[in-house]
């Protein structure tokens, strides 16, 4: 489900999952990220753009960046302290 890119970043591959699963899996994965650490999520559901923006707006976590790379959406979330 996740792999450590380095000590400060966790990667979650949520490609192929439909709404709301990418956000739910990310929320669960954030439990294993230390405060101030980063979670990078890869998703293919176009609805995940709005979902991750809304999730980060509603939570204390920060969506530091996101991008679309040929239909694979990449979100970088910093866990709240």
* Backbone region of residue 14 per phi and psi (left: phi > 0; alpha: psi in -120 to 50; beta: other values): alpha
- Of the residues 11, 17, 19, 63, only one is catalytic, namely 19
The sign one gets for the Cα dihedral 60, 57, 75, 30 is positive
Residue 19 annotated as catalytic: yes
Tokens of 6: 């380095």
DSSP H or E stretch at residue 49: helix 48-58
Residues recognised as catalytic = 19
């Amino acid at each position: 489900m996740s792999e450590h890119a380095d000590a400060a970043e966790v990667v979650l591959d949520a490609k192929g999952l439909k709404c709301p699963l990418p956000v739910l899996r990310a929320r669960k994965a954030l439990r294993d990220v230390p405060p101030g650490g980063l979670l990078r999520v890869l998703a293919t559901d176009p609805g995940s753009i709005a979902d991750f923006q809304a999730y980060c707006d509603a939570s204390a976590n920060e969506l530091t960046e996101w991008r679309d790379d040929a239909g694979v959406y990449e979100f970088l979330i910093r866990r709240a302290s």
